[in-house]
Structure 1
Amino acid sequence: MIPYGDFTFFYIALALLLPVIVLGLMGRKYIGLNVAVSFIMLVLIFKDPNKNLFGISILSYEMISFVVYILYQLLLIKLYLQVIKKHNTLTNFILIMIAVILPLAVVKVFQSTLFGFGSYQVGEIPIKSIIGFLGISYIMFKSIQILMEIRDRRLEEINSFELIKFLSFFPTISSGPIDRFKRFQKDENKPLTKERYALLLHKALHYIMIGLLYKYILAYWIDQYIILAIDFDTASIWMKIIYMYGYSFYLFFDFAGYSLFAIAFSYLMTIETPPNFNAPFASKNIKDFWNRWHMSLSFWFRDMVYMRIVFFMTKKKVLKDAFMVSNIAFILNFFIMGIWHGLEWHYIAYGLYHGILFVGYGYYEKWRKKNPWKLPPTVVNILAIIITFHFVAFGFLIFSGKLF
């Protein structure tokens, strides 16, 4: 069952959450009930619909991989908590990070057509189905964030059960938004009142309604009447431009709709998962765009990749020019983000494209300080939004793979 993929998912999830909602409206919360709902939903998400034994569905390879991976991450985090008490070295940190990232790296290689591994099988089962599962990268993001906080001495002890709940939280399991462990824990431990839950319920229903509009009406219409209707390879240049616009809006409405669903179901479970989108096509520059688009991922990369590269290069005095250090960090940051999407040329090109845009905008900002616009601010803002949108839309066309 694909999360938020059809109305059956909503019916089952809401039915299971009904006791949680009733208790919440009474100002009461039982963590065990949330855990039970998450467990049942995860079983339904990962179960194999094609295999049954005496009428009982058999768990899929993805479910087994999911359980093993959660336990693997738990083991690594617990191990690092012990290691860091005596040996808080960069070498140990790098080794533990390699161990955390390795399973996803293997999955990406076997999912990719770039190296020709995509069709490898064990018997009749693709290798990528044995070692991978829906949402593996988002769990990895959570684990890396925790490990970095441990290295920074901001986390010194972690309860295993609390960690498993955080890593396997079903509303955000497949595609985020990416939450932070301390923020998640704060919501879990926050006292619940009737008034607070009524507000959470109201917001959840509101987000579900907007999500339905985005994903099941607007994204569906664009997919059916623009994306699927245009043969990009034989289309004229004008139809290719229409395709670029359509694909850009399709990505937004489809993913923003999904994100609203994930946030809504989190709210029903009293977890105020952070937002993922904030009117991204109203951005005035590329930096503004990444502060509005897939915000939890963007902020994660900013904090866990970009800032770490800048800090390392500054500490080691790799370069004296802080502006160049920042530019190199931007390129590496988006290059890694591109590889994370997949080991295909169009994903890598997409990441590098945005890294180059960041560098270019940095030079533009320096130039503009010496050469301010003489147009009215309103006109400048409108032009900035239009120009930024077209740079972003072209990037999405690269992302689509249609240019390669």
Structure 2
Amino acid sequence: MINLQPYSSPRYFLILLLGLLPIMIGLYHGKRFRVYETIFSLVFLVLTFGGDHWQQGVALIIYIAYQFILTLAYVHYRKTRNQTGVFVGAVLLAILPLTVVKFTPFLAGGKITLGFLGISYLTFKTVQVVMEVRDGTIKDFDWKLYLHFLLFFPTISSGPIDRYRRFKKDYETIPDRSAYLEDLEKAVHYLFLGFFYKFILGYLFGTLWLPSLQHWALMQRHAFGGLGLSWALLGYMYDYSMYLFFDFAGYSLFAIAISYFMGIKTPPNFNKPFAAGNIKEFWNRWHMTLSFWFRDFIFMRFTFWFMKKRWIKNRIRISQIAYLVNFLIMGFWHGLTWYYIVYGLFHACAIIINDIWLRYKKKHQAQIPSNKFTKGFSVFLTFNVVCFSFLIFSGILDKLWFM
């Protein structure tokens, strides 16, 4: 059986574009071939999770069955009742498979690996649906559409993380010919930009330069001792940051492009993040669907819950605690290693400091200059703070300090 990693080879794109042709022709003529789209998606899921990856395929089937039964049960329950304990239980059960997948390698010493590619993004979708059903914002739940939403193959491996109501609107609305032609134009643009990001810039920063910079950083650490700080490590920091962006942004652009070909306007994941003037603005530009998901379903709900309990009356303190919780969970989600957790705490502290500065700046507007130089310096400072956080995230400090 052919085994294809999403967006990894010319063969994948060739098969993908051939399979998309009937869908594109149908949408051009104002029709959505739902049965063909379902078969088409299932074929690509088999190609992704079949063959040598059959264990992942089995895990995906079990996971989808579990989440489908759980969500359907909660939707049925929510029609007549709305007890908080049941809602919390449903959310905890929804994140249980992801928790097991994250903790099993740690507890088993790395010898056992469960799960499948994209389990995190599917979990975020499921939790979002359960929460919005509870809030009443999802009133018309369609189980067939829910399955299509979960298994929408362009985004299943690495996002972006769509929302059920937004996806439902696109899926049920067939664009007119002129609007679809505009979507196709955007899709082609995103596709070629993704090729440039992933296979040219990502290759340049990741494959050509990054291993050499890591080698020299490790060599200088062994030669000169200390904390391992060196010009090679500084170069590694900037190079890894560029690689992380172009590689992931490239994947995201591929997913968005294929979605647009299929008449689904999957939201963007990046918006010039390194042009951000402060750390909060950075998170409004970087991996946006993830950061907005954490904002809406962790930060905001934790803040509301804390205010409702009235354990702390100061709203500033509540938001600071919420930032710590939000980014600490994000750190744990990346993995159970110290550098992922420190990465999360680093960003929480950075945002807290940034909020303190913005409040101070607002009170002393007359004394604090605002011009092209200060704005440029803000971008420069934010860029370097972010790059340093990515240095932590990369794990190279673990090799420099503990090997």
TM-score (norm 1): 0.92
3-state SS in 1 of match to 2:51: strand
Paired position in structure 2 for 1:42:
45
Q: Is the 8 A contact 1:208 1:260 kept in 2?
A: yes
1:118 matched to 2:81? The reply is no
* Structure 1 ranges of 4+ moved more than 3 A: 370-376
Equivalent of 2:205, from 210, 219, 222?
A: 222
Match of 1:377 among 366, 371, 379: 371
Offset at 1:264? 0.3
Q: Does structure 1 residue 250 correspond to structure 2 residue 243? A: yes
Deviation at 1:47, TM superposition (A): 1.0
Where do 1:283-298 residues align within 5 Å? 283-298=276-291
Q: Which moved more, 1:13-22 or 1:206-215?
A: 13-22
Aligned match for 2:382, one of 368, 384, 388: 388
- Listed as ranges, the matches of 1:6-155 within 5 Å are 6-49=9-52, 60-112=54-106, 115-120=107-112, 128=113, 131-155=114-138
Is the Cα contact below 8 Å between 2:94 and 2:127 reproduced in 1?
yes
Could you tell me which residue of structure 1 aligns to residue 166 of structure 2?
Answer: 183
Q: Distance in 1 between matches of 2:363 and 2:370?
A: 17
1:358 match? 351
Deviation at 1:18, TM superposition (A): 1.2
Residues 29, 192 of structure 1: 8 Å contact kept? no
Q: Quick one: structure 1 residues 376 and 363, their matched pair in 2 at CA, closer, same or farther if it must change by over 3 Å?
A: closer
Question: Residue in 1 aligned with 2:219?
Answer: 234
Deviates more, 1:229-238 or 1:14-23: 229-238
Cα distance in 2 for residues equivalent to 1:155 and 1:183: 11
The aligned residue for residue 272 of structure 1 is 265
AA at the equivalent of 2:143: S
Q: How does 1:270-349 map to 2 (within 5 A)?
A: 270-349=263-342
Equivalent residues, number = 384
Where 1:18 maps in the other structure, the secondary structure is helix
Q: Could you say which residue in structure 1 is the equivalent of 2:224?
A: none
User: Matched residue of 2:219: which SS?
Assistant: coil
Gaps of 5+ in 2: 221-228, 399-403
**Percent pairwise identity:** 43
| Partner of residue 193, structure 1 | 176
2:237 and 2:209 map into 1 onto residues whose CA distance is 10
Residue type of the partner of 2:375? N
CA distance in 1, matches of 2:390, 2:83: 40
CA contact (8 A) 2:27 2:174 kept: no
Structure 1 residues not aligned, in runs of 5+: 50-58, 121-127
How far has the Cα of 1:234 moved from its partner? 2.3
SS of 2:397's equivalent in the other structure is coil
Contact 1:109 1:117 survives alignment (8 Å): no
User: Partners of 1:84 and 1:22 in 2: how far apart?
Assistant: 40
Q: What are the Cα deviations for residues 333-377 of structure 1, in whole angstroms up to 9, with x where unaligned?
A: 000011111111111111111111111111111222233464451
| Separation (CA, whole Å) in 2 of partners of 1:197 and 1:34 | 17
TM-score by length of 2: 0.92
* 1:195 CA displacement: 1.1
Match of 1:209 in 2: 192
**Aligned partner letter, 2:127:** I
**Aligned pairs (5 A) from 1:158-169:** 158-169=141-152
Contact 1:81 1:157 in 2 (8 A): no
1:5 pairs with 2:8: yes
CA displacement at 1:148 relative to structure 2: 0.5
